[in-house]
Amino acid sequence: MNGNITSIGKYLPEKVIKNNVFENYLDTTDEWIISRTGIKERRQLDQQKGASFMAIKAIENLFDKTKITSDQIDAIIVATITPDMVFPSTACLIQDYFKIDNCWGYDLSAACSGFLFGLETADALIKSKKYKKVIVVGVDKMSSILDYNDRNTCVLFGDGAGAVLLEPSASHGILDCKLGVNGSGAKYLNMPAGGSLHPASPETVEKKMHYVKQNGAAVFKSAVKGMFDITNTIMKNNNISSKDLKLFIAHQANKRIIDATAKKMNLNPNQIMVNIDKYANTTAASIPLALCDAYEQNKLDIDDNIILTSFGAGFTWGSCLIKWGI
């Protein structure tokens, strides 16, 4: 049996931040941001709300599209790097909100690849036959860890959440998934403080160590190669050619990365899902948001072959081949 996506939901904050906002105080322009990233706007959550708020909203949207109710859920996996707090987990806060009695769950930290790591884990739970209904959420409030005076990072990210429900299927669902990590990339993309190595202190706050730090050139180069290599491996292992693929949904970090990867894969524009222009990089929420948009825009039919591919801090990466089943 495969873990099959049977329902999907999303949540985006109402507040929209357009590129021209940054023109007012940073050395950048709307044209430069669009040409370098493909981003036109992003969403921003209220400061008083946390990642769990968005995750709950996405799950509620998921439940609106299925007859399954919250009390039937066996497990909740939350992919995030911006939990409400270090502990307890966001999954616990979600369980408490929905009052699910016979459920367990946890948070998973793999940055932009987090949702795929969660998807692979949920699929394994389904395959174990111990669990029949598992929710995977990708959620991040990136606005909470951005230095809005750093033009190299603050224009790139947005807030949002996406969620899927997995159930057993003999004919549809996750056919294959391949994941990887390489910690030598940690120095290129990280948040230095807030952990046990550099706990919060007046010094770490003064040095702005609680914000995202990125070497954009190094990440860009590694992401193009990493996403193509892992996707190519998945396709070869399953005898899938470009023409057999209905849709390629890559992590929405940079349109140039997506385009470069798709070009190496010999895909045409109709096979590529892009929504980075509307949401920017939402980290763990990126892929489920793109998947949900594709579904809502009727770009997916039953039996379609789709590939989800990501690359993120760590470095982490992954690719999943799915036979669409709803």
- The question of whether 210 is a catalytic residue gets the answer no
Number of residues in the chain: 326
Low-confidence ranges of the chain (pLDDT < 70): none
With CA atoms as reference, report the closest residue to 157 among 173, 146, 169: 146
**β-strands 104-108, 75-79: how paired?**
parallel
Catalytic pick from 112, 154, 292, 320?
112
The pLDDT of residue 321 is 98
The pLDDT of residue 87 is 97
Q: Which two tokens stand for residue 154?
A: 């603050």
Catalytic pick from 251, 254, 275, 292?
251
SS (H, E, C) 242-295: HHHCCEEEECCCCHHHHHHHHHHCCCCHHHECCCHHHHCECHHHHHHHHHHHHH
- The question of whether 112 is a catalytic residue gets the answer yes
Each residue's pLDDT tens digit, 243-284: 999 999 999 999 999 999 999 999 999 999 999 999 999 999
Predicted TM-score (pTM) of this structure:
0.97
- In order of their start, the domains of the chain are 2-171 (3.40.47.10), 176-323 (3.40.47.10)
Catalytic pick from 61, 281, 292, 320?
281
Each residue's pLDDT tens digit, 1-50: 999 999 999 999 999 999 999 999 999 999 999 999 999 999 999 999 99
To 5 degrees, how large is the angle CA 137–CA 290–CA 163? Answer: 15
For 202, counting Cβ atoms within 10 Å of its Cβ (0-12 exposed, 13-18 middle, 19+ buried), the class is exposed
